[in-house]
Amino acid sequence: MTNMYFDSAATTQLRPEVVEKMTEVLNQNFGNPSSTHSFGRSAKSIMEKCRKNIASYFNVSAAEIIFTSGGTEADNLAMRSAVRDLGVTEIITSRIEHHAVLHTAAQLQAEYNIDVTYVQLDEKGTVDFKHFEELLKSDTKKLVSLMHINNEIGNILDIKRVADLCKVYGALFHSDTVQSVGHFKLDLQDIKVDFLAASAHKFHGPKGVGFCFVRAASGLKPLIFGGEQERGYRAGTESLHNIVGLDEALRISYENLEKESQYVKKIKQYFIDSLLEKLPDVHFNGECCNPDKSTYTLVNVCLPLPPEKAAMLQFQLDLKGIACSKGSACQSGSTSASHVLSQILNDDLLQKPSVRFSFSKFNTKEEIDYVVETICEFARN
């Protein structure tokens, strides 16, 4: 069977160089970074070098990078501590955030009786900045949590504009940047975000590791208690091989960003053009068809199929060896419609199947041809 992977927004293929680096550390540097003997000191030195490297890509200090198990933990660390320890009584977010943010906000509302307010969106899923600024004017201690790039429809938030408005009105700003770190450059001296979440497996690194950017003097407190690792922010022995993998994956991603992003942009556009040529009635969800307002890494397409075929689409694509997604992998067990698409599509479009295809440097035009032909053959028969 032909196997083709178009689900890089869920997770990416590891780069061979990353596997090699991680294997080297697993074999040679097994010491606990908190131990004071030579094995521990060697591991600590490697880890702190990685932290310094990672910080340099975002123009921040190494002390502001806290290693976590991934984006979800980083989101929870920032949001829970902001409410529990920093006096936040209102969270401003949107209804198309990742569930790591939405479910955390709902839980915090239940635990602390805070307000959770949702900024209005247009029919494409773009933030209504007029409404957003009105929300910021209320007399409460606020945390804004808005993702930089939406993981289902690819919309890009004007993150600097949000950060600047938060500073004007004295709100804290947290952003889930899981879909943008490694794919876009972020200068955090220019973008005054307070907290940022990232995950290595979204940019060809290992699963189970990420980081939280915590701006200096924020007052944030730990989510996980125990030892004094990660400057007291995150107890538990650090996963050195994963941290090395994160660092290596990020280094390669940013060193090759121009070349690889241009290649993936062409792959995405070729997919859009080929699908429109063969199925002109397709609908592209959100801003994913607009290269200026969406990430180059994914497309979310609503296909003109009747209900009886819609239910079988993903199964048929999988039978043909095509890996893609109907939404976030974190909700793959759900039978309900995507919470993101439910906010922006009308009832007619919601009855049709929407599929997310997400791309990487490992995809080819020949694969695109196969995918488009497979979709069209299923639609015709």
**Residue where a domain stops, chosen among 216, 236, 255:** 255
Same domain, 140 and 70: yes
Tell me which DSSP letter residue 62 carries: G
Same domain, 233 and 336: no
CATH of the domain at 356: 3.90.1150.10
How many whole angstroms separate alpha carbon 143 and alpha carbon 336? 29
Angle at which helix 159-169 crosses helix 129-136, to 10 degrees, equals: 20
Residue 166 has pLDDT above 60, yes or no: yes
Which residue bears the tokens 């007399």? 139
Mean pLDDT confidence for 29-48: 98
Q: What pLDDT is recorded for position 167?
A: 98
Mean pLDDT confidence for 17-33: 97
Same domain, 261 and 251: no
109 neighbors 116 (Cβ within 8 angstroms): yes
Same domain, 271 and 237: no
Which residue bears the tokens 């996963």? 239
- Number of residues in the chain: 381
End-to-end distance of the chain based on CA atoms, in angstroms? 21
Q: Which amino acid is at 369?
A: D
Same domain, 268 and 130: no
Q: What share of the chain is helix, strand, coil (3-state, %, to 5)?
A: 45, 15, 40
How many whole angstroms separate alpha carbon 12 and alpha carbon 158? 25
pLDDT in tens, 55-105: 999 999 999 999 999 999 999 999 999 999 999 999 999 999 999 999 999
Residue 162 has pLDDT above 60, yes or no: yes
Residues 6+ apart with CB under 8 A from 56: none
Domain residues for the domain of 41 are 16-255
Known catalytic residues are 330
Q: Based on the number of CB atoms within 10 Å of its own CB, is 249 exposed (0-12), middle (13-18) or buried (19 or more)?
A: buried
**Percentage of the chain lying above the pLDDT 90 cut:** 94
pLDDT in tens, 107-150: 999 999 999 999 999 999 999 999 999 999 999 999 999 999 99
Q: What pLDDT is recorded for position 335?
A: 52
Same domain, 263 and 182: no
47 neighbors 231 (Cβ within 8 angstroms): no
Q: Of residues 306 and 336, which shows the higher confidence score?
A: 306
Same domain, 25 and 163: yes
Phi-psi region of 132 (alpha: psi -120 to 50; beta: other; left: phi over 0): alpha
**Stated pTM of the model:** 0.96
Residue 1 has pLDDT above 80, yes or no: no
SS3 182: coil
CATH of the domain at 229: 3.40.640.10
**Residue where a domain stops, chosen among 255, 286, 302:** 255
Pairing of strands 65-68, 210-214: antiparallel
- The number of angstroms, rounded, from the C-alpha of 206 to the middle of its chain's C-alpha atoms is 14
Mean pLDDT, rounded, of the chain: 96
Mean pLDDT confidence for 187-206: 98
Which tokens sit at 142?
């606020």
Same domain, 213 and 355: no
SS3 195: strand
Mean pLDDT confidence for 50-57: 98
- The number of angstroms, rounded, from the C-alpha of 138 to the middle of its chain's C-alpha atoms is 29
How many separate domains does the chain show?
A: 2
Phi-psi region of 232 (alpha: psi -120 to 50; beta: other; left: phi over 0): left
Q: Which amino acid is at 46?
A: I
pLDDT in tens, 269-298: 999 999 999 999 999 999 999 999 999 999
**Residue where a domain stops, chosen among 232, 255, 278:** 255
pLDDT in tens, 308-360: 888 899 999 999 999 999 864 454 444 567 999 999 999 999 999 999 999 99
95 neighbors 118 (Cβ within 8 angstroms): yes
- According to DSSP H, which parts of the chain are helical? 16-28, 38-57, 71-85, 99-112, 129-136, 159-169, 240-255, 257-278, 307-310, 313-319, 339-344, 347-350, 365-380
210 neighbors 198 (Cβ within 8 angstroms): yes
CA dihedral of 255, 256, 262, 267, whole degrees rounded to 10: -140
